[in-house]
Structure 1
Amino acid sequence: MTLSVTDHPVSVIGGAVTDAQTAAIRVENDHAARNYSPLPVVIAHGEGAWLTDIDGRRYLDCLAAYSAVNFGHSNPTLVATAKKQLDALTLTSRAFHNDQLGPFVTALAEYAGKDMVLPMNTGAEAVESAIKLARAWGYRVKGVAADQANIIVMGGNFHGRTVTIVSFSDDEDARADFGPFTPGFRTVAYGDAEALAAAIDENTVAVLVEPIQGEAGILIPPASYLPAVRELCTENNVLLIADEIQSGLGRTGTRFACDLVGVTADLYLLGKALGGGIVPVSAVVGNRDILGVLQPGQHGSTFGGNPLAAAVGAATIGLLIDGCLTDRARMLGDRLADRLHALRGRGVLEVRCVGLWAGIDIDPGLASGRTVCEMLMERGVLAKDTHGSTIRLAPPIVIEQGDLDWAVDQLEEVLAQLSA
């Protein structure tokens, strides 16, 4: 049980930026590259769904590091696993076997209903790995002519920020001045199965899709879309690659967001929550007929599958295997959706919510998403804006129901304050 907002009624919740915060931010900005524009709060401690800043003020974390902290900050099971492994062995590289990798990949493969795992570190590495796998499979199994493979991606996608990945992004902030870009990708409209069908040809090796687009604002496609994508991929001998880096591992109230519509992907891309908020862990999960195309020396990672990451990853799957946390995310998500939909017409234009993951479109005539997030921060709720007027909520799935209600109460009061 984690501390809730009612457990410490005398605690200071949120507040304006202090001199101590300003000084700490200035030190960071003096030497850290400015590739982010974070909210002006400096966090020093976390427990469950709650964070504490350097002044001792508490905040409810409604971002969970973009789903990386699904199981809460300082999760006792995951922390104990990490501490135990730190005392034993942390890194060997893949030049040698280690005693943690086998149990990890076995647990993850079984959880995903597949038989092979390619362990990596970050989500972007998982995406890059899947691109290489799809191309190699296309040439070696499907019989596509050398250097002719194409992969179909979706408009509005977000899969990371490497040069290859931003090559098929339509976010100009991610692309500007980073060319020349990697060829071999075709973009079609997200949610449009007919456009996808028209784009597939004999050289198409894969379709890469987010079952729910996270960075775009929690965009949920029509229920018929992913089944249609699955059917098209099967008919045309094309791999369906599901980027579940944010949406997988319980976030949507299911193991994978694909499960919401009964679709099984050929490859699942996992990350973020797989490392339990402790270490970066990612993976490509699929069957041997696809992952088996890789041979020694053709792909690798010094840290991928390291003993510390493997131990934490296995413990993470252990938290999920009985389905209790996933069920919790679904039930609390239903409550969150009801509360948020009640705000429509009161400064909110639209709400998209599945599990404990919500995109809330703020009326741009009222305020920007950033302004709303700053006002929530002062009230002790940490959330993140995207695409100007949308804010995202993705609290740890261990959040207490009362704290979730309290967070929505704060949003309701912020909207009332802006409308006054």
Structure 2
Amino acid sequence: MDTLNSAADGPELAEPYLREVLGMAGLAVEYVRAEANTLFLRGADGGEIPIADFAGGYGSVLLGHNHPEINRLAGELLDAGTPVHAQFSRHPYANRLAAELNRIVHRELGVDEPYFAIFANTGAEAVEAAVKHAEMDRGMRIAALREELERGTDAARAAVAAGTATVPGRVRGRFGLTAGQSDAAALDELTDRIARDNTAQTERPPLFLSLEGGFHGKLGTSVQLTHNEAYRVPFRSLAAQARFVPRDRPEALKEIHAEERGVLLGLTVTDGQVDVVERAFPVFCAFLVEPVQGEGGIQVLTAEFAAEIQRFCAEIDCPVVIDEIQSGMGRTGTLLASSQVGLRGDYYTLAKTLGGGIAKASVMLVRRDRYRREFEIVHSSTFAKDSFSCTIALKVLELLEADGGAAYRRAEERGEALRTMLESVRADHPALVKEVRGKGLMQGLEFHDQSGSPAASVRGLAESGLFGYFLAGHLLRAYRVRTFPTASAVNTLRFEPSLRVSDEEIARLEAGLRDVCRLLEEGAGEVLSGSAPTP
């Protein structure tokens, strides 16, 4: 069998540490071509070696690498000189894409309220757009609330000045106002106290809610909403802060709200007496949710937890941002994985497969009742909403919807075949394989922690922090199968192949996983790490 070529062509100046880590795990190879569910890498003799791709561009190539219809359209667009840079002009192709996304979303959600589209280039940018919009909306709601309270204060001042209202003893006592002063003086002291309290409240930075294990990107704001501390903590001082909700404790929502809730105070006049009223202050800017967590270990949101999130956010008027960047675009059998658990978002973020595997495209959808048109002026992107990426995305939707949604059904069928295989491996190796999780063509297989293995070589793999990467390296070297662990749960291997994944490729993956289990049982960690040849 041809050997894999991992030699560098020159000094490694681009991400040298990452290259070192990949090299340690046996994943630093050069891919030279791609089609369908196959990547071709360069062998030591310069020839091509086909690799079954179960990584799938982290979910970007559901339709397969270099889909012929998408590539043909891309060539036609480029040959025709389609405009990429035509900012501040009409974009009919973007309107058509937004309309088609709305049509499918309405069908899946059973609603007809429109969602407005803000386009971007990557998933993290779409998340940033969603949280920026949510903060603009929160700020405008706070401003409206303060205006309402100021009107109440003005009315109370006028009533006291006219002698038609007094500041009663219960209010004076509650706020510890100076004894014996007139109603006018008491009201001045009271309004000053309320103003200070309200200012302290409104100066609080916004809080976000996110699930433990969640991943929403690595940009300045989105990284703060990502649970993995290795990504988040170095940049903690830069941007927004989040409270992370345990996946198995929906009751934690009420606990967090009780700890963080705030109120603004105002005045009202009732039956000739000035009284103090409380209005809930919108501390929480948004709740970000992945229906299926990708980087967090392929964790699936339950319908029960989804219902709790929906109820909780409705009660406190906190918008729900549904991150469908990995789980959406048909990968789980529907455009929106969240529609399968009855969760409806105020915002959706879509990317990856939206670009058909070749265009860098993402979109943030925001429900009409939440939409602030001022956002279009303060947020923009040089490369977003162009003719090329929007037209490619329209073709992707056309392919997904063709033949009555055959692609969605294919994702379910291929996903079930993959899951059946993974479950059979788990059933035969329960001491090694902890759990199989996922939906459709987004599956994960979690290994038990091997840090207590009697074999020193296996313990070394577990303690390296790269356990899953070493397993992936063995699958690549010995079985010509490409996959990776989930970054925030390295004991879980992820499988996100394209619709073109074949029974033969699934069988090859099965053979590789069974071999991994055999080597772990035998304590052959040196084989898994590549430091000893495969027996």
With normalisation by structure 2, the TM-score equals 0.71
* Distance in 1 (alpha carbons) for counterparts of 2:96 and 2:470: 46
Which of residues 295, 314, 328 is equivalent to 2:410?
328
Q: Distance in 2 between matches of 1:49 and 1:262?
A: 31
Q: Displacement of 1:330 after TM fit?
A: 1.0
Task: Note the C-alpha offset of 1:150.
Answer: 2.9
Whole-angstrom CA distance in 2 between matches of 1:205 and 1:354: 29
Q: 1:111: how far off?
A: 2.1
* Aligned counterparts of 2:17 and 2:352: Cα–Cα separation in 1: 22
Q: 1:214-253 maps to which residues of 2 (within 5 A)?
A: 214-253=294-333
For 1:331 and 1:144, the matched residues in 2 are separated by 51
* AA in 1 matched with 2:101: L
Alignment of 1:44 onto 2:32: yes
Larger C-alpha radius of gyration, 1 or 2? 2
1:127 lines up with 2:132 in the alignment: no
- What whole-Å deviation, never above 9, does each CA across 1:186-236 have from its counterpart, x for those lacking one? 222234321123334441232111112110110123331112111222232
The equivalent of 2:4 in structure 1 is: 17
Deviations 1:234-264 (A, max 9, x none): 2322211100000001111222111221222
Supply the AA of the counterpart residue of 2:13.
D
Gaps of 5+ in 2: 107-113, 147-201, 262-280, 451-457, 462-466, 523-535
Is 256-265 or 177-186 further displaced after alignment?
177-186
Match for residue 96 of structure 1 among 89, 114, 118 = 89
1:125-274 equivalences under 5 Å are: 125-141=125-141, 143=144, 148=204, 149-200=206-257, 201=261, 202-203=281-282, 204-274=284-354
After superposition, the Cα gap between the structure-2 partners of 1:222 and 1:99, relative to the gap in structure 1 and judged at 3 Å, is closer
Shift of the 79–191 alpha-carbon distance from structure 1 to 2, 3 Å rule, reads farther
Mapped to 1, the partners of 2:30 and 2:73 lie a distance apart of: 27
Letter in 2 for 1:232: F
| Structure 1, unpaired ranges of 5+ | 1-11
Taking the TM superposition and a 5 Å limit, the aligned residue runs for 1:347-358 are 347-358=432-443
The answer (yes or no) to whether the contact 1:325–1:398 under 8 Å persists in 2 is no
Instruction: With the length of structure 1 as denominator, give the TM-score of the two structures.
Output: 0.89
Aligned-residue RMSD, C-alpha = 2.2
Specify the SS of the correspondent of 1:224. helix
Question: Using the alignment, how far apart are the partners of 1:332 and 1:31 within structure 2?
Answer: 36
1:276-331 deviations in Å (ceiling 9; x for gaps): 11011111113222234434421111111111111111111111123211111112
CA deviations over 1:119-154 (Å, ceiling 9, x no partner): 111111000000011112223247566555432122
Paired position in structure 2 for 1:5: none
User: Displacement, 1:413?
Assistant: 2.6
The Cα shift of 1:417 comes to 3.5
C-alpha contact (below 8 Å) 1:123/1:245 kept by paired residues? yes
1:381 aligned residue: 481
Contact 1:111-1:317 within 8 A present in 2 as well: no
- Mean CA deviation greater in 372-381 or 388-397: 388-397
Asked if 1 retains the 8 angstrom alpha-carbon contact of 2:216 and 2:225, the reply is no
3-state DSSP of counterpart to 1:289: coil
- Conservation of the 8 A alpha-carbon contact between 2:425 and 2:510: no
Task: Sort the Cα spacing of 1:144 and 1:72 in 2 relative to 1 into closer, same or farther, 3 A.
Answer: farther
What residue number does 1:338 align with? 420
Q: Counterparts of 2:86 and 2:145 in 1: how far apart (Å)?
A: 34
- The runs of 4+ residues in structure 1 deviating greater than 6 Å are none
Cα distance between partner residues in 2 of 1:418 and 1:184: 41
Query: How many Å separate the matches in 2 of 1:381 and 1:101?
Result: 38
Letter in 2 for 1:80: R
Further displaced range: 166-175 or 202-211 = 166-175
1:81 aligns with one of 73, 77, 94: 73
1:104 counterpart letter in structure 2: L
8 Å contact 1:48–1:396 — kept in the other structure? yes
For residues 302 and 30 of structure 1, what CA distance do their matches in structure 2 show?
28
Alignment-derived partner of residue 118 in structure 1: 118
Equivalence map 1:372-411=2 (5 Å): 372-378=471-477, 379-386=479-486, 387-411=489-513
Residues 142-178 of structure 1: CA distance to partner in whole angstroms, max 9, x if unpaired? 7566555432122222111012222243423213543
1:17–1:40 CA contact under 8 A, matched in 2: no
8 A Cα contact 1:133 1:293, kept in partner? no
Deviates more, 1:104-113 or 1:268-277: 104-113
Q: Give the count of matched residue pairs.
A: 403
- Which protein has the bigger helix share? 2
Residues 303/33 of structure 1: CA separation in 2 closer, same or farther (3 Å cut):
farther
Partners in 2 of 1:107 and 1:413 — Cα distance? Answer: 46
What residue identity is the alignment partner of 1:318?
Answer: E
Q: Is the CA contact 1:109–1:117 (under 8 Å) kept in the aligned structure 2? A: no
> What is the deviation of 1:184?
4.6
